[in-house]
Structure 1
């Protein structure tokens, strides 16, 4: 008598989950790179003016004229934290995009490198490493700006009446995207381990574990 067991967490599903999470996190980090909302500043002396600062632009919002943005005049004139964050975010975006391009032909069901499981396995491992690099670069970039913002906010050398920069929405989206990329890279490695286990199990058809499983269960893969 066979009992049907639905197996939802298959190797194929794990691979696609890793790719979807990586794609969503990559888009979040890409948007964060160009948003001028890394830091915000509200002046108590002039409440109708709100300043926003990003890696590429600085913006001023007023009720009369709306939002007016201007690019930084000189790269070398930027604070060192913004220069470092620019480089790290570009590294993150580049490695994240390359990770997805590498991962796609390594997925099960994609008619590329058919009959070459070692090549597909290597592509997924390489994609996982690139995804980790992308996520860590984003987290480092946002953390650098967050650290300098906190130091400047509590700097006793500035008069109390002077407005201070505070965290903007883009920094939080950067943290979310960075952690998502790290998790996505980890899922790629989990998918590789699951694939190795499936190959090892398939190569041992006479093992007691396989006999016991085939006797009582009929595995139905979903997706």
Structure 2
């Protein structure tokens, strides 16, 4: 536990948050949110994301096409787009605030309250980024499950299933939530360290009283 200092926790939180942000950015634009294999033609694989629909065949390879109309998107896809964009924006701001709030960064080095405020702001922004990543991924997963088990759809019609991007989205959202939590832990550790320094300095500033042993000469 001695090695777990405030600086190490701060840098670990920044590293985890940055990793979650990069994974969220990649997940947003991957066309692998949903996948579908047709029993009639096993050589074709369909993929769908928030921005593209793709088909993979051995003759042509991967061919993707963007959604033509923004207004014609399904509601869950439109909401997921907005939330993922919010996640990227808040995550980027949170990582930037966390970087400038690190101990050892020269910006604001003489203003510890500013550093503390930046870390708290970074924790809140990274938390929001994590929640806005987990929400759209879970929403698309819910819609996919409902449509997969819909009895009104004939059994001959192929069904969409989970793609790889769904799991990377859950992973990135958890990384962002963990990174934001580590930032709050770093703030608490910094406050405890500051209180310990104040209490130690107060003890050293106390005037020392000398006690004399009274002896009697017989």
TM-score greater than 0.5 by the shorter chain: yes
The within-5 A match list for 1:198-213 is 198-205=193-200
Q: 1:18 aligns with which of 13, 32, 54?
A: 13
- 2:179 alignment partner in structure 1: 184
1:167 aligns with 2:146: no
Post-superposition shift, 1:166? 0.2
Count of residue pairs the alignment pairs up: 203
Output one character per residue of 1:84-138: Cα deviation in whole Å (capped at 9) or x when no partner: 0000000000000111111111100000112211100000000000000000000
If asked which structure has higher relative contact order (CA below 8 Å, sep 6+), I would say 1
1:68 aligns with 2:63: yes
Post-superposition shift, 1:7? 2.3
- 1:220 alignment partner in structure 2: none
Q: 1:86 aligns with which of 70, 81, 85?
A: 81
For residues 24 and 114 of structure 1, the distance between their equivalents in structure 2, rounded to whole angstroms, comes to 26
For residues 104 and 202 of structure 2, the distance between their equivalents in structure 1, rounded to whole angstroms, comes to 27
Structure number, greater radius of gyration: 2
> Does the 8 A contact of 2:103 with 2:109 survive in 1?
no
For residues 165 and 49 of structure 1, the distance between their equivalents in structure 2, rounded to whole angstroms, comes to 13
The within-5 A match list for 1:1-223 is 7-205=2-200
For residues 207 and 101 of structure 1, the distance between their equivalents in structure 2, rounded to whole angstroms, comes to 36
Post-superposition shift, 1:139? 0.2
Post-superposition shift, 1:206? 6.4
Give me the TM-score of the superposition, normalised by structure 1: 0.89
Give me the TM-score of the superposition, normalised by structure 2: 0.91
For residues 206 and 89 of structure 1, the distance between their equivalents in structure 2, rounded to whole angstroms, comes to 48
SS of the residue 1:204 aligns to? helix
Q: Which segments of structure 1 move beyond 3 Å, counting only runs of 4 or more? A: none
Is there any run of 5+ residues in structure 2 with no aligned partner, and where? 204-218
> Does the 8 A contact of 2:127 with 2:177 survive in 1?
yes
